[in-house]
Amino acid sequence: MNILYISEQFPWPLHNGGNLRSFYIAQGLSKEHSVTLLAHQPPADAPEAKDALMAFCKDVVTVEEVSAPKRAIANAIGCGVRGMPLWLLKNRSPGILERVRQLTRNKHFDAVHLNMLDAACFANEPCLPELKVFDSHNCLAALADQTSTRHGNTLMRSVFRREARLLGRVEGRVARSVSSTLVCSPEDGQRFQELAGNGTSNSRVRVAVIPNGVDVDEFAGGQSGAEQEEAIVFVGAMDYFPNIQGARWFCEAVWPIVKTELANCKLYLTGKDPTTEVRNLAYENVVVTGRVPDVRPFVDRSRVFVVPLKSGGGTRLKILGAMAAGKPIVSTTVGAEGLGLIDGQHLLIADTPQDFAAAIKRVWHDESFAARLAQNARHEAEQRFSWRGIQDSLLREYDNLVSKR
């Protein structure tokens, strides 16, 4: 088939979970289909980006990216603000939509792959083919709802409650409009069923669980050559609210307990674009790295990988990388959601500061137990979360959709 793959964000460089998933899903589709990628232009500091995608795409078409404020104004004028979530107001791209209309006039496409909600908001465009697949990445309504209950600012809690309500309407409408909604976890699948019609039998939509994955060979531990330190690492985009919230919770509530026993331990907060709130966490043995060309050296040199998330959706690519690297992992329940991992077998799960700190100390002091956790996690990554296997599942879902037409 000829597939038009629409993505607001260019899926390169591979420095965050969204780009990683987008890249490997596009690569997987290209194994059996002809893929045309349409996206905003890649970052200026990634001149290799287009070549990286042209390695497997039939064509790569880019549109100049307009700033979020200008997009918001254009959307407010063109669509109005009533009923539109703020997230969509700033992320919906009129330039992408215009190029979609041009492309579909000049070329026949058998299917369209809508990558994330800012592409899927165009699902009802008459120019698109009948076969439409929406890759959700996350349930944004659920994320906004979680944030509305946890944000420290009363006004922002009210803003996020509104976002949750409006995003839920949009996500439900999209799920009803497409042939299939891809989700990262069964939990997100249930959320989309509820948004599409409260989960009643006569309103159920097609949902397929296509989990996030990891390149198990690339993340095999020790390849970076970094020497191990007395260190803990937390990896994630540090401008993303669940990661900001998690970093703050760990530094303010967990880290002081850890330091009472592991006085010389170092903490790396590793990820792009740290906000002022995150940068202010840097103190003594807490290192805020900002964007790094490769997270693997920081993972390799650390003895424990932590996922202190208190909110979020989908599945965490950060935890999959740690599993493939063979690192002992300590996570909250939310941080490991959707992966089907077993506490005490693949990782340790803890949700209070005291329990989280105790779990870190346990894997720190009990090296044989830590090694078993790491070995089990690596095996699980190889068996269930290799991108190769996940791409095969993706292609089967497309085959099933075609056979039902």
Which residue did the predictor score with more confidence, 391 or 272? Answer: 391
Residues 184 and 249 in one domain: no
pLDDT surpasses 60 at 281: yes
The predicted pLDDT at position 76 comes to 83
What's the mean pLDDT in 197-213? Answer: 79
* Closest C-alpha among 211, 280, 282, 277 to residue 245: 277
The predicted pLDDT at position 201 comes to 47
In the chain, the number of structural domains is 2
What's the mean pLDDT in 249-256? Answer: 98
Give the pLDDT band (50/70/90) at residue 198: low
pLDDT surpasses 90 at 42: yes
Beta-ladder partners of 47: none
Residue type, 344: G
Q: What is the CATH number of the domain that holds 140?
A: 3.40.50.2000
Task: Enter the DSSP assignment of 314.
Answer: S
d(CA 90, CA 102): 23
The reply to whether 206 falls in a domain is yes
Residues 153 and 296 in one domain: no
Instruction: Report DSSP letters for 7-68, one per residue.
Output: ESS---S--SHHHHHHHHHHHHHHTTSEEEEEEEPPPTT-TTHHHHHHTT-SEEEEEPPPPH
pLDDT in tens, 70-117: 888 888 887 777 788 999 999 999 999 999 999 999 999 999 999 999
pLDDT surpasses 70 at 314: no
* Closest C-alpha among 327, 360, 351, 333 to residue 258: 360
102: left (phi over 0), alpha (psi -120 to 50) or beta: alpha
pLDDT surpasses 90 at 405: no
What's the mean pLDDT in 44-57? Answer: 95
d(CA 405, CA 287): 54
d(CA 167, CA 163): 6
pLDDT in tens, 82-95: 788 999 999 999 99
d(CA 243, CA 261): 25
What's the mean pLDDT in 271-293? Answer: 95
Residue type, 115: N
The predicted pLDDT at position 93 comes to 95
- Per the listing, tokens 């992966």 go with 339
The reply to whether 148 falls in a domain is yes
User: Which range has the worst mean pLDDT, 45-59, 239-253, 313-327?
Assistant: 313-327
What's the mean pLDDT in 33-56? Answer: 96
Residues 332 and 238 in one domain: yes
List, in sequence order, the alpha helices (H) in 327-386.
353-365, 367-384
pLDDT surpasses 70 at 199: no
pLDDT surpasses 70 at 404: yes
The predicted pLDDT at position 224 comes to 66
Compute the mean pLDDT over every residue in the chain, rounded to the nearest whole number: 93
The reply to whether 312 falls in a domain is yes
The reply to whether 225 falls in a domain is no
User: What are 199's two structure tokens?
Assistant: 């989960």
**What is the domain extent for residue 21?**
2-213+387-403
* Closest C-alpha among 351, 325, 398, 399 to residue 135: 398
The predicted pLDDT at position 202 comes to 54
What's the mean pLDDT in 351-362? Answer: 98
The reply to whether 91 falls in a domain is yes
What's the mean pLDDT in 53-75? Answer: 93
Are 316 and 309 in contact, with CB atoms under 8 Å apart? yes
* Closest C-alpha among 7, 212, 204, 191 to residue 116: 7
List strands edge to edge, sheet with 286-290: 286-290, 266-270, 231-235, 304-307, 329-331, 348-349
Residues 130 and 55 in one domain: yes
User: Which range has the worst mean pLDDT, 70-84, 162-176, 265-279?
Assistant: 70-84
The predicted pLDDT at position 78 comes to 77
pLDDT surpasses 70 at 134: yes
Residues 96 and 202 in one domain: yes
The reply to whether 226 falls in a domain is no
What's the mean pLDDT in 186-191? Answer: 94
> φ and ψ at 190, to 5 degrees?
-65, -40
What's the mean pLDDT in 327-341? Answer: 94
The reply to whether 219 falls in a domain is no
- Per the listing, tokens 């043995």 go with 285
User: What are 158's two structure tokens?
Assistant: 């009210």
Residues 257 and 393 in one domain: no
pLDDT surpasses 90 at 17: no
- The distance from CA 392 to its chain's CA centroid, rounded to whole angstroms, is 20
Beta-ladder partners of 132: 112
Residues near 295 by Cβ (< 8 Å), separated by ≥ 6?
Answer: 235, 270, 271, 321
Residues 369 and 396 in one domain: no
* Helices and strands, number each (H, E), in the chain: 17, 13
pLDDT surpasses 90 at 57: yes
Residues 235 and 197 in one domain: no
The reply to whether 222 falls in a domain is no
Percent of the chain at pLDDT > 70 equals 96
Residues 173 and 235 in one domain: no
Q: Which helix (H) or strand (E) holds 286?
A: strand 286-290
The predicted pLDDT at position 226 comes to 75
d(CA 87, CA 92): 8
Residues 207 and 94 in one domain: yes
Residues 270 and 360 in one domain: yes
Q: Which helix (H) or strand (E) holds 298?
A: helix 296-301
Residues 182 and 295 in one domain: no
